[in-house]
Amino acid sequence: MLTNVAKAGTLDYLAVISTLFVILVFLMIFRNTLQGLGYSTMAVISGVGELIGRSFGGWLALHGLGFLGISLANPIAWGFALCYCAFMVTRMLRKEDKQAAK
């Protein structure tokens, strides 16, 4: 049986994660686009962005945000990876367009 503190923490975590799942949706779209274009290595490299984001979330937890920092670690990780994937998809599509125009 969960204590009231555990229930409150669980509800806080779910509130943060569920409102920020939209970041994960766009990350999956851009990461799968990279893979579909044949740049699977770049899609895997986006995992480095996730690692940096989770580290930043842990740092935030240690420096004042506590449990909120832990709750934000995954969405921050998704955001870092999304920035990389969106940049790379844009770059690769421009490269594909230039090659098609030749």
- What gap in Å lies between CA 58 and CA 65, rounded to an integer? 9
Q: By CB neighbour count within 10 A (0-12 exposed, 13-18 middle, 19+ buried), where does 90 fall?
A: exposed
Overall domain count for the chain: 1
Residue with tokens 């984001």: 53
Is 99 or 3 the better-scoring residue by pLDDT? 99
Per-residue pLDDT tens digits for 9-22 = 788 889 889 999 99
pLDDT of residue 2: 63
Give me the domain span that covers residue 13: 4-101
pTM: 0.83
- What gap in Å lies between CA 82 and CA 42, rounded to an integer? 12
Per-residue pLDDT tens digits for 36-77 = 989 989 888 998 888 988 888 888 888 888 888 888 889 999
